[in-house]
Structure 1
């Protein structure tokens, strides 16, 4: 066994028969006697690192958040399952109410048309007997035509506009005229076409089977278009009664057709313009005209 390091070794003092200690360097002595590196011992004596503590706290909060989210979704799912039968019943009742209202509206409109026809026949029978009555009937016919209150049959133009279908490449959004929507034809396009037909010489116009007259609007409603508050869908058929050849020539130079041709080239919209005979337009809805009057002193 090696002796320790003698601090007096090499001195002048010497005793007889005493063992001589051999100096041993401290590094070699530490390697032979201390088997654990001092750094490990110091690390073991130090408290836990703040970084490890904060990381553990972070993981704990994340776990708590995940558990909370899972609990919220589970609660929402259970509530949805509990209320689903009641919601389906409410939807069924509302759908039945809507269908009943639509049926009643259709019956009322049919009854109105029958009564209007009766009034028309009786009105003509009483006014056609003298010259004054015939003049009054002529004025009334002109007013009804201007108000789109009578059905019309005659030659004219048919303009059919078709929204393009979805392309096979669903990732192609470059042809979306409205971001997030595949719809290309908008209310302002149909408005421009109708106005161009009026300017071109049309005497009566219908859009999607709805007669265009005073107080009739063409408006966008979400993903659909309403004409006089009635929904229409692609293909949009616009009928215009008037001199067919002059109407076609004038409309061919109009801004409305130019807009449609631009949409056809840019977005693939279908545009077809044809002249025809015997176009039939229904009568439009007649509304009361209210006049404002000054009141007070």
Structure 2
């Protein structure tokens, strides 16, 4: 992400796991075509998760102006997101290992792989999703809401456990960028207009609490003559989709 306030650090590479089947070994084995497709999908998404970096500009200057408690909270949020990403990567490595073993083309294994691919599709923004969450409206009548504030809202929601979200019809991903001047903001290069409509799936209570912490999103918006409406819902639909780009440099690790 890119904005004038701090963003999360890029995800660290996953810790070493247990014994893994050789990638070349998998390719040499003759597998059910559906299993091969699922292995490919999981591998592509795994490589994407490892390779992607969350973009941010002017981070050092922004951090220098924050209070100690704000810095501690930001660090906690980044650590929590990193831990979740590490866990997701570990789970996908385990799924790949299972698919690489003899007998992994059983209906149960294929169903498990399909479920994991679907879950990753939601997390990466390639699949529409629905579930409990929040419908948030950020109003900016004075055109004073900066890209940094909108980015800060996304970060706070993620730190509170948001699983997927969209802003004005633009699906948010791990590499999303918020840019532009107040009154003329863009998300991933697509213009967005106030009032900004944010649809987010996750724990409604936890995320609403995060929006209303002292010096949080609601406070920041209010101090700039704006307002934030937060509505909890049992069914939020996030249907904007992202195109998953293949990693330019990263590729599955080859262990012989």
Query: Would you say the 8 A contact 1:189–1:256 is kept in 2?
Result: no
Higher relative contact order (CA 8 A, sep 6+): 2
| Alpha-carbon distance in 1 for matches of 2:126, 2:214 | 27
Name the residue aligned to 1:141.
118
Superposed CA deviations along residues 232-252 of structure 1, whole A, max 9, x for unmatched, are 101011121112123223432
Superposed CA deviations along residues 24-54 of structure 1, whole A, max 9, x for unmatched, are xxxxxxxxxxxxxxxxxxxxxxxxxxxxxxx
| Alpha-carbon distance in 1 for matches of 2:214, 2:170 | 23
- Superposition RMSD in Å: 2.8
Alpha-carbon deviation of 1:198? 0.5
* Structure 1 stretches lacking a partner, 5+ long: 1-121, 166-182
Instruction: Give the alignment's TM-score, normalised by structure 1.
Output: 0.45
Q: Does 1:267 align with 2:221?
A: no
Name the residue aligned to 2:162.
202
Name the residue aligned to 1:224.
184
| Alpha-carbon distance in 2 for matches of 1:287, 1:247 | 29
Name the residue aligned to 1:155.
132
Provide the secondary structure at the position in 1 that maps to 2:209: helix
Alpha-carbon deviation of 1:292? 5.1
User: Structure 2 residue aligned with 1:132, among 88, 109, 112?
Assistant: 109
Provide the secondary structure at the position in 2 that maps to 1:188: helix
Alpha-carbon deviation of 1:256? 3.5
Q: Does 1:286 align with 2:244?
A: yes
Name the residue aligned to 2:203.
243
Instruction: Give the alignment's TM-score, normalised by structure 2.
Output: 0.52
Q: Which moved more, 1:131-140 or 1:225-234?
A: 131-140
Structure 1 runs of 4+ aligned residues shifted over 4 Å read 126-129
Alignment size in residue pairs: 151
